[in-house]
């Protein structure tokens, strides 16, 4: 059983929140009781890795973890052996944010964007923002779609693959949601004055709708056929703000909610119309390990998520904060209902 809670203590964010910004300043939920259900699934030896995104290949159980610091993607096999798909610290790439496995094409899709908090950042790097199609077998980038250049740069973050193969991804800095038809390479997009800081995306199984997490506002629902956009309603006393990576799961949204203290993984259940949340359940809360979780992925009957990303352990210029020591990146696993 999950613990059902009212989320009245979630921080009210009135401005756009970029990855890693102000998470440590969120108020603590004093009414919460820590009930970790997770176990360590994998650990990376390199404490400087700076993990962000994760996905799993259901065919073989391999995990793929992105690196903000080293601009690569690490593959972890079920025996713990690792391989990096991209050369470390590649000059033509920015930090790798999101990754999703496309089993139909034997590729991973990943997002890359320059970001000022990364060591070595130069103003000209703001032109780097792209969706990458990467062949799993050898790490070759077989397609690269470059996002339009924008003042201050774009931050392409999490992404999702719909059942029909469409790839959805968001820009947090200039809030836009994009989607690519992988067969034609055509990219469409939608933006709105209501958007503030877009994060994860979750297409529904029937292909009709896409749910979009906005860090400052909660969740939007986009009807693809009509392009109708609406803010999903939350019941009184509940807040959906502060959510990063999200997934569609059996009529609900599973979200990594790192805009609370302590951070946690939540399941938000929708009503039959898909326009209103009716309840919130804690999937996992493990602050001793998951001090800064980001993105999750299902694998079989488990949910695997990045537990300790390292945004809060670096200052605005990417320098290490000595009072916040790095720890080896950990992936946690928790049972799905």
CA angle 283, 170, 142 (to 5 degrees): 105
Q: Report the mean per-residue pLDDT for the chain.
A: 89
Quick: pLDDT tens for 4-32: 433 333 333 323 344 544 443 444 443 45
**pLDDT of amino acid 336:** 93
Give the C-alpha separation, 307 to 294, whole Å.
7
| Structural domain count, the chain | 1
CA angle 131, 166, 242 (to 5 degrees): 70
Q: How many residues does the chain have?
A: 337
Percentage, residues of the chain above pLDDT 70: 88
Of 73-87, 105-119, 137-151, the least confident: 105-119
Give the C-alpha separation, 235 to 211, whole Å.
17
Give the C-alpha separation, 97 to 189, whole Å.
19
Tokens 């809360």, located at residue: 285
What Rg do the C-alpha atoms of the chain give, in angstroms? 18
Which structural domain range is residue 289 located in?
3-335
287 pLDDT higher than 80: yes
**pLDDT of amino acid 332:** 98
Edge-first strand listing for the sheet containing 330-335: 39-43, 330-335, 302-306, 296-299
- The encoded tokens of residue 79 equal 């025996």
Q: How does 40-70 read in b/e, with b if 16+ C-beta sit within 10 Å?
A: ebbebebeebbbbbbbbbeeeebbbbbbbbb
* CATH number (domain holding residue 17): 2.120.10.30
User: What mean pLDDT comes out for the span 259-266?
Assistant: 93
**pTM above the 0.75 mark?**
yes
**292 secondary structure, DSSP code:** B
Q: How confident is the model at residue 217 (pLDDT cuts 50, 70, 90)?
A: very high
């Amino acid at each position: 059983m999950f613990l059902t809670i009212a989320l009245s203590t979630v921080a009210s964010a009135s401005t756009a929140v970029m990855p890693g910004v102000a998470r440590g300043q969120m108020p603590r939920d004093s009414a919460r009781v820590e009930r970790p259900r997770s176990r360590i699934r994998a650990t990376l030896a390199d404490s400087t890795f700076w993990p962000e995104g994760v996905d799993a290949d259901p065919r073989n159980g391999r995990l793929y973890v992105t690196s903000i610091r080293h601009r690569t993607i690490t593959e972890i096999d079920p025996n713990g052996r690792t391989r990096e798909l991209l050369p470390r610290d590649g000059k033509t790439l920015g930090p790798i944010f999101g990754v999703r496995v496309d089993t139909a094409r034997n590729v991973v899709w990943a997002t890359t964007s320059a970001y000022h908090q990364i060591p070595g950042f130069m103003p000209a790097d703001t032109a780097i923002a792209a969706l990458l199609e990467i062949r799993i077998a050898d790490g070759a980038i077989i397609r690269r779609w470059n996002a339009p250049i924008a003042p201050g740069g774009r931050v392409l973050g999490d992404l999702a693959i719909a059942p029909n193969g469409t790839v959805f991804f968001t820009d947090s800095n200039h809030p836009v949601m994009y989607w690519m038809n992988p067969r034609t390479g055509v990219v469409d997009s939608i933006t709105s004055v209501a958007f503030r800081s877009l994060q994860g995306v979750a297409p529904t199984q029937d292909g009709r709708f896409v749910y979009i997490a906005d860090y400052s506002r909660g969740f939007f629902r986009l009807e693809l056929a009509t392009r109708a956009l609406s803010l999903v309603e939350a019941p009184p006393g509940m807040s959906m703000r502060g959510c990063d990576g999200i997934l569609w799961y059996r009529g609900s949204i599973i979200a990594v909610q790192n805009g609370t203290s302590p951070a946690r993984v939540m399941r938000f259940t929708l009503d039959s119309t898909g326009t209103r949340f009716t309840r919130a359940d804690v999937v996992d809360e493990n602050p001793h390990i998951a001090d800064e979780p980001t993105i999750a992925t299902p694998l079989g009957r488990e949910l695997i998520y990045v537990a300790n990303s390292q945004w809060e352990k670096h200052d605005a210029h990417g320098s290490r904060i000595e009072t916040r020591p790095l720890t080896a990146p950990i992936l946690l696993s928790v049972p799905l209902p």
